[in-house]
Amino acid sequence: MPKRFITPLVTRLTVDRSTAPFISSSRPRLSWTASADGQWRQASALLRLTRGGLSTERRHDGPESVDVEWPFDPLQPRDDVAIQVQVVGSDGSRSPWSAPHSFGAGFLGDGEWQAEFLTDGAGPSRFRTEFTTSTAVARATLFATARGVVVAHLNGDRVSDDVLAPGWTAYRQRLTLESWDVSAHVALGVNRLELTAAGGWYTESYGFGDDHARYYGDEVAVAAQLHLEFEDGTTATVRTDESWSASSTGPLVSSGIYPGEEYDATRTWTGWRPARVAERGILPSARSAPPVRRQELVPVSRVLETPSGARVLDFGQNLVGRVRLVSRGRPGDVITLHHAEVLEGGELALRPLRRAAASDRYTHGGEGPEVWEPEFTFHGFRYVQVDGVDDLRADDYRAVVLHSDLERTGSFESSSPLLNRLHENVVWSMRGNMLALPTDCPQRDERLGWTGDVQVFAPTAAFLYDCDGFLASWLEDLALEQSAADGIVPVVIPWVIGWEPTEVAGWGDAATVVPWVLFERFGDRSVLERQAGSMRSWADRLRRRADGTGLILGGFQFGDWLDPAAPPEHPERGATSPDLVASAWYIRSLDLVARLDALLGAADSGYAADAAAARDAFRARFVAGPGRLTSDSATAYALAIAFDLVPGAAPAFGERLAELVRTAGYRITTGFLGTPLLLDALSSTGHDDAAVDLLLQEECPSWLYPVTMGATTVWERWDSMRPDGSLNPGEMTSFNHYALGSVADWMHRRLAGLSALEPGYRVVGVAPHVTARLDSARAELATPYGVAASGWSRQPDGSVRVECTIPTGTRGVVELPTGLVLEVGPGMHGWTL
């Protein structure tokens, strides 16, 4: 018989895991996915690079299709290229060439950045210049950055849909350089380039209570460089310098992240004068994370009248962004928007915002309707009180959802509407808190990159969205701030708090945990290589702190933050010893760094030996007897089980943990550090049913209690709102915090059964837990190799159907509820039990 060929098809091609028009590396990594019927396997691939009208091909041998090393000559600054791939199967089959993926090199060469930073002092400003072209432009690229946030216009056209550019990084060590293709905006003759800037995160005042200050500085500054390439082969450069003009008197009256924005359309930019050249500072580096963009428009769900007579728009969803409005007033009429997440007593609940005024103000400029949306701020809100409008029309208002432009990859659904809503709340909280960097909350006078929050949530985040590049960029800032703090990882990144940094367990350990999560979930070995120094530096800092005891004892700790047993004003005073928590995380980081060194082939630096010694010390200090710890709390046992702190004791600890859970009536008794480990600790010790009962509890404190109270995002506290509708009396109460939403990772991996058995899902685990309390559960994920899925459903005849999908080029290991373990190849599979 003639050999049967299976025709594969390349379905996706990315450069540095991105489809962005510009990349930041001269040797980017290439990844692609292929689909084919049957047991097709890639044997090789042809890669084609087209540059300047000339094509070059290279052969890549082997089955790997994720993070393939760049096989061509390095990209040069401002290169404009296209890449294609053709895969060849082990059966000799060959795919068509993929569609070309075009992109540019979003970086400049050594010494090419010559732009000066311009300033007009504090407050919003506009800068402008004119230049003349006499020859048609083949390509024009604008590079820009700011100490603040900036929008560029060329001949009146906004050049990019990026929002709040260049975002927030560790400004003292790293500043992002934006790259925008502006070719379509350049005209023959005179052109006008304008940059409008506001302070954004740079000039914001950070701190708590009365102890806050502007950490970076008072002055807004921008820098830009326009590279023009003409069709006749000549080039020209326009850059910010003393020849530009500046104005700080215009319609943008004021703007801040916490206060909000004021815009007066009766005003125009006036009082132009020569721009002042500011200190040049650090050299900006090309963007490596996705920019912030507008994601969707949400209409008003209903209009409410409060007991005081105010009118409030309810958008039906707690979200992050701002409001786009249509003003129908007369010149000088003012509309004021006040934002809040919840109502209390029928009025906007403003107390949780603390110092953040979160108010926008628009002054009508002309005779007809005018559309306005704030440009340089954002808010966390569901409700907006509108003042100054007599005829309030719901259709005149839309909520503009903002977040970093991450690709959605994972989904979950079950037979429980409450559980599905919980998962949707987790998604919305991630969306709202992944804006430029991973934050704790998006609404009050904080919005900081708390390391503990992202550490516990990273596994869930890596399933829901392709956040590899986003978190890798944040880790770069972490390493920079850590280096400045002599190896200590500050509790927020970027570091903008006036405290003296110290080693805080579960927060600083983001340095070791988050890179490992990105490796396990995305197969991104490069992030481990880049962060290796940071990971070791943190472990070494803890080693010095533990010298003489083998444990982390004493000193400041957050402990099991927001344990529901802790007093509202002292969330650090939970039921679990801070020393036990800190020592557990010390062992965890030592383990991860020892695994790192083994993976990278580094010399043995004693991390594994120190971890073993620390385990001995942990047993001696914290084990009270068989199956008992000195802190007899759910968090203590969850940590001991999850981190194997006392080898061989997990079964007994699991029994005690299950007993504590039952005794508490299946209500939550854990905080930020215990909660993400709790259900896994139960499942791994044979108590899946207890885990399910805990998950499905509806009484406070529980994951579903906020859902029964109408929550549309995850709350910071288990009881941020009390059953009577009053708010938690603590000074710190947010209704959009993703940390406690880390439970979604267990829902994906255990309830639906989808996990990565090898980094990047090269081997897909399928092991669903069938429970009598649900009729179905299913998870689906776009892995680096293609779509994987796992789930189960109860059939009308009482049988259970288990189904899974395994991507091309991978294999699956299936553990059925009967205990049978199978290995399967790519494709869709099903079993009726």
pLDDT band at 6 (very low <50, low <70, confident <90, very high): low
CATH of the domain at 624: 1.50.10.10
Number of domains in the chain: 5
**Is there a domain that residue 632 lies in?**
yes
Phi first, then psi: give them for residue 320, nearest 5 degrees.
Answer: -130, 130
**Predicted confidence (pLDDT) per residue in 190-229, tens digit:** 999 999 999 999 999 999 888 889 999 999 999 999 999 9
Alpha helices in 485-577 (DSSP H): 510-522, 525-545
Least confident of 166-175, 560-569, 627-636: 560-569
Residue ranges with strand state E in 526-610: none
* Whether 791 contacts 803, CB under 8 Å: yes
The Cα angle at residue 645 between residues 639 and 648, in degrees rounded to 5: 115
Q: Is residue 355, in this structure, part of any structural domain at all?
A: yes
**Biggest CA-to-CA distance, the chain:** 86
Whether residues 537 and 454 share a domain: the answer is yes
Q: What is the pLDDT of residue 1?
A: 35
**Are the beta carbons of 614 and 647 closer than 8 angstroms?**
no
For 584-596, the pLDDT digits (tens) are 999 999 999 999 9
Element of type H or E holding 312: strand 311-327
What mean pLDDT is reported for the chain? Answer: 95
* Mean pLDDT of the region 521-532: 96
pLDDT tens per residue across span 143-198: 999 999 999 999 999 999 999 999 999 999 999 999 999 999 999 999 999 999 99
What is the span of the domain harbouring residue 100? 9-104
As beta bridge partners, residue 118 has 222, 277
Phi-psi region of 744 (alpha: psi -120 to 50; beta: other; left: phi over 0): alpha
346 phi-psi bin (left φ>0, alpha ψ -120 to 50, beta other): left
From the list 116, 204, 446, 520, the catalytic residue is 446
Q: Is 716 known to be catalytic?
A: yes
Q: What pLDDT does 507 receive? A: 98
670 and 718 Cβ atoms separated by less than 8 Å: no
Confidence of residue 40 (pLDDT cuts 50, 70, 90): confident
Q: What is the pTM of this model?
A: 0.96
Q: Which among 374, 404, 434 is the end of a domain?
A: 404
User: What letter represents residue 449's amino acid?
Assistant: G
Average pLDDT over residues 703-730: 95
Q: Is the domain of 149 the same as that of 76? A: no
Residue 764 and residue 776 in one domain: yes
Q: Omega into 647 within 30° of 0, i.e. cis?
A: no
Q: Write down which residue in 404, 433, 468 finishes a domain.
A: 404
Task: Please tell me which residue in 194, 375, 716, 780 is annotated as part of the active site.
Answer: 716
Structure tokens belonging to residue 161: 């849909």
Residue 527, in any domain of the structure:
yes
Q: Which residues contact 149 (CB under 8 A, 6 or more apart)?
A: 164, 165, 166, 167, 197, 198, 199, 200, 201, 202, 376
- Does residue 2 lie within any of the structural domains? no
Q: Is residue 814 part of a domain?
A: yes
Token couple for 389: 């409008």
Q: Do residues 170 and 202 both lie within one domain?
A: yes
In whole angstroms, what is the distance from residue 208 CA to residue 496 CA?
11
Residue 521 vs residue 2, higher pLDDT: 521
Same domain for 711 and 779, yes or no, is: no
Name the packing angle between helices 688-695 and 650-663 (round to 10°).
Answer: 30
Question: What pLDDT band is residue 245 in, cutting at 50, 70 and 90?
Answer: very high
Which pLDDT value is given to residue 219?
95
Rounded-to-integer distance, Cα 616 and Cα 550, Å: 9
Type of residue at 404: S
Same-domain check for residues 673 and 574: yes
If asked whether residues 596 and 670 sit together in one domain, one would say yes
- Are residue 215 and residue 304 in the same domain, yes or no? no
Domain CATH for 84: 2.60.40.10
pLDDT of 3 above 50? no
Pick the closest to residue 30 from 44, 13, 50, 45 (CA basis): 13
Question: Does residue 701 contact residue 720 with C-beta atoms inside 8 Å?
Answer: no
Does 578 lie in the same domain as 589?
A: yes
Q: What is the pLDDT of residues 70-98, one digit of tens each?
A: 999 999 999 999 999 999 999 889 999 99
- 375 assigned to active site: no
Does the structure show a pLDDT above 50 at 499?
A: yes
Do 442 and 366 belong to one domain? Answer: no
Residue 113 domain-assigned (yes or no): no
Q: What whole-number distance in Å separates Cα of residue 92 and Cα of residue 683?
A: 45
Residues 606 and 736 in one domain: yes
Q: Where residue 785 sits, what CATH number does that domain have?
A: 2.60.420.10
Give tens-digit pLDDT for 254-277.
Answer: 999 999 999 999 999 999 999 999
Give the CA distances from residue 23 to residues 81, 107, 476, 761, 773, in Å, rounded to whole numbers and listed in that order: 11, 8, 17, 25, 48
Residues 264 and 383 occupy one common structural domain: no
- pLDDT score for 568: 80
Element (H, E) at 336: strand 334-340
Q: Which two tokens stand for residue 148?
A: 């603040």
pLDDT surpassing 80 at residue 5:
no
pLDDT digits (tens, 9 = 90+) for 740-756: 999 999 999 999 999 99
* pLDDT above 60 for 4: no
Task: Say if 79 falls within a structural domain.
Answer: yes
Please give the pLDDT value at position 181.
96
| pLDDT exceeds cutoff 80 at 796 | yes
- Rounded to whole angstroms, the Cα distance separating 682 from 98 reads 46
Percent of the chain with pLDDT over 70: 99
Last residue of a domain, one of 751, 779, 812: 751
CATH number at residue 169: 2.60.120.260
Instruction: Please report whether residue 1 resides in a domain.
Output: no
Closest Cα to residue 280, out of 78, 109, 119? 119
Instruction: Decide if 349 contacts 343 (C-beta within 8 A).
Output: yes
Confidence of residue 7 (pLDDT cuts 50, 70, 90): confident
Q: Is 544 exposed, middle or buried (0-12, 13-18, 19+ CB in 10 A)?
A: exposed
Give the Cα-Cα-Cα angle 392, 393, 395 (nearest 5 degrees). 150
